[in-house]
Structure 1
Amino acid sequence: MNIVISGFYGLGNTGDEAILEAIIDNLRAELPNPDITVFSLSPEQTAKAHGVKSVYRGWRHDNKGKIRALREADLLISGGGGLLQDTYPTRFLFGPLPYYLLVVFLAKLCGTKVMFFSQGIGPVNTTWGKILMKVFANMADFITVRDAYSKQLLHELGVTKPETVVTADIVFAFHHKEDNACLESLPLRGDEQLVAISVRPWLDQRDYYGKIARALDQLIELEGITPVFVPMEGHHDVRASDRVVEQMNHRSACHILGPDFTPNQYLHFISRCRLTIGMRLHSLIFSALAGVPHIGLSYDPKVESLLKRSGMWDYSFRLEEIDVDQLVNNARFMLAERETVRAIVQNNAKQMRQEAMENIRLLKEKFFPQGEDRR
């Protein structure tokens, strides 16, 4: 069975690379010898990292390779992650939404079935984006989405032809391996109270950097924490982390991890922390997966949705509504009552792992019903 995977791969985003690793590992665990090709911006790197075939994802070259892969495929997996959205500039053929839907259109022209896999949909606000969704997303044969909001939005956009099932982000089915590379890169004594911090740039907003800085200064003074910034998207998040640290009085108590660790290495580091304060969706998913209490700073409905499912929304904030004193109080409560909060997170994460595995079960049922179970 030949499977092509299309997503935001080979661009250094930890969350998306974790999605790819989770998809590949679980396909190999559940299907007999799948032949996998990934569309990636760094095809050689992707092929080496995962032992798959890989084709350059952009339209600048190797379009014949993409078409050949789609013609030979039994299934195109579009996803997972937040691919279908127009937050970023969307023109006739420019932007993420036209790109991913054009790949779907090419797959259908090649006679290949299409599954939108564990996707988070939206926002889709432009007229052109809505037209593209109604025309091309309806070409999919089957859809799984990672939250109820995404299913509702698909229906509002007129995407009603494919059956759509709510599951969970496939990263909840990630195969976690012990790897202390992140910890070993830091000058730590070993008795620190580590708190993982994930920040990112977001549009033209800036004031949240100062609010996070003030909260971390108070937590260092009151609780003696050691904040460690986890850059989930390379140099973009390193710069955002620097902007927070620059505004802190206790900047010498902070560390910023390097931007080139693997998703599993970042996940394992977060699993060793007592708390996460994070913006990036997958920093919070990693925290839930590892049973680590977390406070989210939501810049997008997908983050709020995840926090509600993990049981941590009552402790979290929308990005534009951060209250520094309340953030400090919530963090102190979580540190003091960590085992109680941890039990809530673990229970909810267990349910989401089961739902994440539904993506694979449904894929097998819909597209490879004769495939043998390798277990």
Structure 2
Amino acid sequence: MKIVISGFYGLGNTGDEAILEAIVDNLKDELDNPDLTVFSLSPGKTAETYGVKSVYRGWRHDFKGKVKALREADLLISGGGGLLQDTYPTKFLFGPLPYYLLIVFLAKLCGTKVMFFSQGIGPVNSAWGKILMKVFANMADFITVRDQYSKDLLHKLGVNRPESVVTADIVFAFQKKEDQSCIESLPLKGDEKLIAVSVRPWFQHTAHYKQIAEALDHLIDSEGITPVFVPMEGHHDVRASNNVLEHMKQGDKCHVLGPDFSPNQYLNFISNCEMTIGLRLHSLIFSALVAVPHIGISYDKKVESLLKRSGMWDYSFPLEELTAGELIQNSRKVLAKRDELSSMIENNAREMRRDAMENIDLLKARFLK
């Protein structure tokens, strides 16, 4: 079976690279010698890393290569991840939302079937974005989404023609391989109580840097923790981590991991932690995967949806409601109940892994000849 995979790949985002790795590994396990081509911004690196074919994803280069790959394919997988949203500027045919939908349109012109795969939909607030969704998303042959909110939003946007099924983020089917490169890169004694911290820039919001800094300073004193920042999108998250450190009195007791580790290496690091405090969705998914209790700071419905499924929403916050005092209080609760919470998360993650594998099962049932 020949499959083209379209997503936010080759741009150094740990969450999206974890999505791709999970898709590729599980397709290779579940299908008989699949022929996989990935549209990537770094096609050479993507091909080498995942053992696939790869074509440059942008419109300005190798358009013929994309057309050729789609004409020869049996299926276009659009996803996973939060591709169909207009949080970032959408101007006519420029922006993430038009790009991914035009790839779908191109696939249909080439006679190729399309599956939206483990996607998180939205937000879609602009009038133009809503028009694009209604016209082009209805061209898909089948849809799986990672949460109920996404399915409800699709219907609200008028995307009703293809059947849609709620599954889970495909990263819950990630195949962890032992690799301690992250922890070995740090100057640790070995008896530290490690806390993973994942922060990110989010438009004009900056107050969370100071709130997290104050909470970490307090927890270093009261709980003896060693915070380690996990930059899941390269220099963007390194800069955000440094913004927190600049507000801290005890920044010298923290560490920042390098920005170039693989998703699997970051996952292995988080498995060594007592707890995670995270904005990045996939830092929280990684934590759930390895049964590490986590406090999420939700800047988007996708984060809230995940935290409700992992069982940790009661300890978490919407971004605009975050305060240092409540973060300290909830962190102490989580650390005190770590074993109990870890057991609960492990059970919930087991269910989400089953739901994540349903993405593959449904693909086979719908499209395998």
TM-score normalised over the length of structure 1: 0.98
Shift of 1:139: 0.1
1:26 matched residue in structure 2: 26
- Deviation track 1:311-332 (CA, whole Å, cap 9, x = no partner) reads 0000000001012112111111
2:334 matched residue in structure 1: 334
Correspondences of 1:1-375 after superposition (within 5 Å): 1-368=1-368, 370=369
Question: Letter of the aligned partner of 2:174 in structure 1?
Answer: F
1:160 and 1:320 map into 2 onto residues whose CA distance is 33
- Deviation track 1:239-288 (CA, whole Å, cap 9, x = no partner) reads 00000001100000000000000000000000110000000000000000
2:29 and 2:329 map into 1 onto residues whose CA distance is 43
Question: Letter of the aligned partner of 2:156 in structure 1?
Answer: E
1:173 and 1:61 map into 2 onto residues whose CA distance is 33
Question: Letter of the aligned partner of 2:281 in structure 1?
Answer: L
1:149 and 1:227 map into 2 onto residues whose CA distance is 33
- Deviation track 1:46-90 (CA, whole Å, cap 9, x = no partner) reads 000011000000011100000000000000000000000000000
Question: Letter of the aligned partner of 1:353 in structure 2?
Answer: R
Question: Letter of the aligned partner of 1:17 in structure 2?
Answer: E
Question: Letter of the aligned partner of 1:172 in structure 2?
Answer: F
2:21 and 2:29 map into 1 onto residues whose CA distance is 12
Shift of 1:350: 0.5
2:152 match: secondary structure: helix
Return 138-147 or 341-350, whichever deviates more: 341-350
Q: Sequence identity, in percent?
A: 75
Q: Which structure 2 segments of 5+ residues have no match?
A: none
- Deviation track 1:110-142 (CA, whole Å, cap 9, x = no partner) reads 000000000000000000000000000000000
1:373 matched residue in structure 2: none
Q: Which structure 1 segments of 5+ residues have no match?
A: 371-375
1:55 and 1:185 map into 2 onto residues whose CA distance is 33
- Deviation track 1:192-249 (CA, whole Å, cap 9, x = no partner) reads 0000000000011111100000000000010010000000000000000000001100
1:333 and 1:347 map into 2 onto residues whose CA distance is 20
Question: Letter of the aligned partner of 1:183 in structure 2?
Answer: I
2:168 and 2:113 map into 1 onto residues whose CA distance is 22
Question: Letter of the aligned partner of 1:223 in structure 2?
Answer: E
1:4 match: secondary structure: strand
1:210 and 1:344 map into 2 onto residues whose CA distance is 31
1:258 and 1:323 map into 2 onto residues whose CA distance is 28
Question: Letter of the aligned partner of 1:23 in structure 2?
Answer: I
Return 328-337 or 300-309, whichever deviates more: 328-337
Following superposition, which runs of at least 4 residues in structure 1 exceed 2 angstroms of deviation?
none
1:158 and 1:335 map into 2 onto residues whose CA distance is 44
2:14 and 2:177 map into 1 onto residues whose CA distance is 16
Shift of 1:357: 0.3
Question: Letter of the aligned partner of 1:276 in structure 2?
Answer: T
Shift of 1:363: 0.2
RMSD: 0.5
Aligned residues: 369
